[in-house]
Every structure is written in structure tokens, then in C-alpha cells.
Amino acid sequence: MSQVEREFLEFDVVIVGAGPSGLAAACRLMQQANEVGHELSVCVVEKGSEVGAHTLSGAILEPRALEELFPDWADRRAPLTVPAKRDEVYLLQDAQKAVKLPNALVPPSMHNTGGDIMRYVISAGNLCRWLAEQAEDLGVEVFPGFAAQEALVDDGGVVRGVVTGDMGVDADGKPMDGYTPGLELRAKYTLFAEGARGHLGKRLIETFDLAKGRDPQHYGIGLKELWDVPADQHEPGLVLHGSGWPLDKHTHGGWFLYHADNSQVVVGLILDLAYQNPWLSPFDEFQRLKHHPVLAKHLKGGKRVAYGARAIAKGGLNCLPKMTFPGGLLIGCDAGTLNFAKIKGLHTAMKSGLVAAETVFEALSKGDTGGSELAAFEDKWQSSWAYAELDKSRNFGPAIHKYGTVAGGAYNFLDQLVGGKLPRVHDTRPDHTRLLKAEECEKIDYPRPDGVLSFDKLSSVFLSNTNHEENQPCHLRLKDPELPIRENLPEFAEPAQRYCPAGVYEVVEDADGQPRFQINFQNCVHCKTCDIKDPAQNITWVAPQGGGPNYPNM
């Protein structure tokens, strides 16, 4: 347990993270309790200043889990107003040319129109705001602006809740006027739903050895912009995906462009963090991507109104850790439930939350006093449609890593045609080990942004509404403060300067003309890329004292 004397609140269930999985779990818990008149206390803590402030996704939603949770979601005015109506997939050959793939050559998992399931172009942040309203109406307590700083683990190795972060600590770690120690939120069961590379989830996986026997998790960085476009070039429900240029054959990823509602278009790039060239900048790849005619025609005449970035856990079933431990569960992208073959994770994350809620409530309703390892969850989860979906697409990411975009894509296409029955492919090499030495790679000369379609990092961060109080401890912790200059700079040209999409890391000259590693933590958009990609695993992301992005409609 924490050694600081703190005030505490007690709940039956504490949920860390007001994202799709956490809020789905909260709603389902209270639905079950209310149905049978069982008194239940559920608390959701969210580090964003409001629910949805830190939520960023494409997004196209398959509403299967939502329909299980709220069959009357339309009557409840859920923010699903733009059905996907037209689907196009492109291979960009160079900066000017592209091939539109015929439907017959598009993997079935990439189809977003037709079939029995209606899919919707949505804002994931707005979905979470709506889910939070439903949760509160059901009796859930939702606490935005409270970051869970550590898990409460007792001497017996049982998770008993979380501790929220101290507030009012200065940059040197000393209490200031108005200092407030964090609260202990004690619970019979705690669900961790922080999203990809959750800082508590990461520790729990290590503490309880949850990844034993699994492949290491693999990640991508997703960069996204929201544009206002002229009404006469807006086609609500138009869905575009593509791959190829500007990424080379050693760099995997793909882009998306969706026409949402209110004459808005979302455009983004997902870049695999297993890339090799340390000179590569995901942000700059995204900026030059938008100049391709296939994308540019949808943006020209428009105005960029929002920007953000977030890591995604894309390893799939082979990388999914054990999700249970004494006193709690990992759910959603904290575990890695995204189906990368579909480029969708909201529906599977929500389903994991529903299964967790049903498992926890079943235990509590039978008089369970908490702290157990809920083995029943694994059986329920593995019997779910979400698990079956992940099982069918288990080879998607590792096949591309192992065989390359073309051969791996062909393997996956065939695998989908035979229902996911081809031999299992593994990728056991962590993303941070993939970087080659800078001297072995070609330096990339990115074009200057034109301020019309492409932009610089600082103006982009401004549009993320990111803010952190400057006089607080840096939340980007270096295990060895000298390593970036001593090792990363000569070997990899210090890649943090480029993989960070927010300009947090710089190599500057000190007064003596010597290089110095500078961390502008105020710019951090909480994407977690540094925690993932640093080749020495020297950077650890922890929750700051509030702040971060404040995404609108993302």
C-alpha cells in the first residue's frame, strides 16, 4: 500500500479511464445491479479535464457491443448520425499516382459498407461523453480530472484500488501552498481501462507477469486532424483508406479519410512503430501525405481545426496478455483488444468491458468480498464474438512484419478467405529493438509545410488545446538522464526528436556549445510513443498533475 497517509473513499468497483471499455463496463455493472435491486457503488476516474478530452480515434464504429449495452441507443440520442455509405481503398504509388483497388481485391475485414452490419463515422470523444451521461444516469460516479497515479497493492499481492496523483507539487517535487495529497480509491475490484500503453497497465503486466507466453505487444502511432470543408465538396459517410506512399517498403502503415457530419472531414495516418529508420518522423510523413491528390482534393478550400496523436496497441491476439490478476482486470486497449485487420477497436474494447462487468457483478452478487482472481472472465471472454473476431485476424500484424506489406498482405487476404485457418504467424521482436543505426540509414529531407495542407508541430499542438502547469515535476521520466546524449545521439541521432508528434524532445546546445537533451513536457499530448519507441527504454511516461490535450469532437 502507499506509505503516505491519505484520505480514502471506498467503492465496490473502481474503473480507471473513461474510455469506451471503461464506460461500457460501468454502465453494464449498474444495469445489472439496478435490474435486481442490488446496491452497488461504481466509480470511474479519468485523467482528462472532462470525459472525451483525451480520447482520439478514427473512428468508424461497428455498434454491435453498443447494441448489447443499449438496444435503444438511437432513442437515447447516441452520437451515431453518419452511416458509412461509400467505401474506397487506394494504393498510393508515388506523390502523384494512385491505384483504386477493386472491391474483389480489398480484404473482407476492410469493407465498411454492405453486409448485415451498419457502420458509422463517429467521434470517439463524443461517444464517450454520451456514455458518461448514461453511466451517471444509472448511478455511476464519474470523476474527470483525477489521474490514477499508482495501483494499491497489498502485502499479499492483491490490487485493492488506486491512488490518485498529488496536486500542488512543484518542479523539484516539493509541496507548494495548496498542496493536496492524492486520494486512495479502495475497491473490491479494479478495472484498468487506460487505453494503449496505460502507465498502470504496463506496471501490472510486469508485476503479475501477465505477458508470459505471449508475443510482445506491437504498436502504431495514430495522427489525426479534423477539417472544416466547403459544403459542396462534403459527402457524409464517404470512407477512404489507403497505404503506400509516402512510406517506404520497410515502413508499414496506412491512412484514413472520413467525411463526418457538419461539413467536417477527418484525416489521419497510422504508422507502425516497428519502423527501422531513425531519421523518420511520423508527424512529417503525415503532413506530406496530405499533399497527394487523392487526399488533397477533399481538404483544399477547408480549414484545419483540430490535431492530435495517440499510440494504438495493434499486436492482436498473439500479444494479448492475461487480463486477470488478484483484485482486478485489464480491459480494452490497456490489454490490446483492437482488431487491426479492421482498423477498429471501439467495438471489441466495449465488449471486453461488458464481459468484465458481467464477471465482476456475478462474483459480487454471490457475496464475493473482493480481491480474488476472476478466472471466470477468461472463459466468458474466450466464448465471446470479440475474441472470435481477434482469433480470425490474429495473423494480420505479424504477417506484415514478417513478410512485408505485399507478401504479408497476400497472406492475410488468403487467411481471411479461409476464415483465419492458415498457420499462426508470430513476431517476437519488440518495436523498440527495430531501429537501425543512423549511419546505416538514409536521412529523410522533409519538405517545408505550406501552411495550407501541411503544418509544423507547434501550430499543430496549439490545435490540440494541450496545456500543463509548468511548475510541476516532469512526467516524462528518464531512468538515465545522460543516456540520450551519450548513446542515443551518436547511435540513432536521438530519434525522440522525430518520433514525438508534439515537439516535446529536442537536442539543443548549452552555454558551452555542448549538446543537451531538453524535454518540453508542456507540449505532451499523452500519446505514449516515447514510452514505446525509445531504443533503450529509458523514458517512462507517468501521469502529470492534470493537463494534457483537450480534444474537441475527436
Cα dihedral across residues 421, 417, 217, 334: positive or negative: negative
Q: Which residues pair with 363 in a beta bridge?
A: none
Same domain, 379 and 325: yes
Q: Identify the band that residue 3 occupies on the pLDDT scale cut at 50, 70 and 90.
A: low
Q: Burial, 480: exposed, middle or buried (Cβ in 10 Å; 0-12, 13-18, 19+)?
A: exposed
In the chain, how many domains are there? 2
Tens of pLDDT, residue by residue over 277-333, are 999 999 999 999 999 999 999 999 999 999 999 999 999 999 999 999 999 999 999
Contact yes or no for 344/338 (Cβ under 8 A):
yes
Q: Identify the band that residue 2 occupies on the pLDDT scale cut at 50, 70 and 90.
A: very low
Q: What is the pLDDT of residue 405?
A: 78
Read off the CATH number of the domain in which 44 is found. Answer: 3.50.50.60
Same domain, 328 and 417: no
Q: Which residues contact 460 (CB under 8 A, 6 or more apart)?
A: 225, 283, 307, 501, 502
> Across residues 174-197, what is the average pLDDT?
96
Contact yes or no for 550/449 (Cβ under 8 A):
no
> Is 506 in a helix, a strand, or coil?
strand
Cell matching residue 543:
501521469
Give me the residue label for grid cell 440520442.
Answer: 77
Helices (H) and strands (E) in the chain, counts: 15, 24
Residue where a domain terminates, one of 405, 429, 453: 429
Same domain, 417 and 338: no
Cα dihedral across residues 124, 130, 133, 134: positive or negative: negative
- Lowest average pLDDT, out of 32-36, 157-161, 353-357, 411-415, goes to 411-415
Is 201 part of a structural domain of the chain? yes
Contact yes or no for 214/321 (Cβ under 8 A):
yes
Is 549 part of a structural domain of the chain? no
Is 369 part of a structural domain of the chain? yes
Q: Which residues contact 73 (CB under 8 A, 6 or more apart)?
A: 63, 66, 67, 80
* Residue range of the domain that includes 408: 396-429
Cell matching residue 522:
508542456
- Angle (nearest 5°) at CA 218 between 212 and 221: 150
Q: Which residues pair with 152 in a beta bridge?
A: 161
Same domain, 338 and 419: no
- The full DSSP string for 219-248 is EEEEEEEEEE--GGG--TTEEEEEEETTS-
- The full DSSP string for 323-336 is -EETTEEE-GGGTT
- Lowest average pLDDT, out of 39-53, 250-264, 351-365, 405-419, goes to 405-419
- The full DSSP string for 98-130 is EEEPPGGGS-GGG--SSSS---EE--HHHHHHH
Is 83 part of a structural domain of the chain? no
> Across residues 140-150, what is the average pLDDT?
98
Contact yes or no for 554/56 (Cβ under 8 A):
yes
Cα separation, 77 vs 407, whole angstroms: 44
Tens of pLDDT, residue by residue over 448-490, are 999 999 999 999 999 999 999 999 999 999 999 999 999 999 9
Q: What is the pTM of this model?
A: 0.96
> Is 199 in a helix, a strand, or coil?
helix
Which of these, 53, 43, 48, lies nearest to 22 by C-alpha position?
A: 43
Same domain, 379 and 410: no
Contact yes or no for 186/160 (Cβ under 8 A):
yes
Same domain, 425 and 327: no
Residue where a domain terminates, one of 409, 429, 449: 429
Is 554 part of a structural domain of the chain? no
Q: Which residues pair with 191 in a beta bridge?
A: 15, 329
Q: Identify the band that residue 238 occupies on the pLDDT scale cut at 50, 70 and 90.
A: very high
Same domain, 360 and 381: yes
Tens of pLDDT, residue by residue over 410-462, are 888 888 888 888 888 999 999 999 999 999 999 999 999 999 999 999 999 99
Q: Identify the band that residue 342 occupies on the pLDDT scale cut at 50, 70 and 90.
A: very high
Contact yes or no for 255/289 (Cβ under 8 A):
yes
Cell matching residue 65:
457491443
Is 497 part of a structural domain of the chain? no
Tens of pLDDT, residue by residue over 62-104, are 999 999 999 999 999 999 999 999 999 999 999 999 999 999 8
The residue count for the chain: 554
Q: Hey, which bits of 299-417 come out as E strands?
A: 303-313, 324-325, 328-330
Same domain, 157 and 203: yes
CA 186 to chain centre: 26
Same domain, 199 and 168: yes
Is 484 part of a structural domain of the chain? no
> Across residues 236-248, what is the average pLDDT?
97
Q: Which residues pair with 383 in a beta bridge?
A: none
Mean pLDDT, all residues of the chain: 96
Q: What is the pLDDT of residue 348?
A: 99
Contact yes or no for 495/483 (Cβ under 8 A):
no
Q: What is the pLDDT of residue 1?
A: 40
Residue where a domain terminates, one of 342, 372, 392: 392
Is 236 part of a structural domain of the chain? no
Same domain, 139 and 184: yes
What does DSSP assign to residue 393?
T
Most confident of 101-110, 115-124, 183-192: 183-192
Cα separation, 110 vs 429, whole angstroms: 26
Same domain, 349 and 408: no
HSE, CB side, 13 Å, CA atoms: give it for residue 552: 11
Q: What is the pLDDT of residue 116?
A: 85
> Is 282 in a helix, a strand, or coil?
helix
Cα separation, 111 vs 114, whole angstroms: 8
Same domain, 422 and 322: no
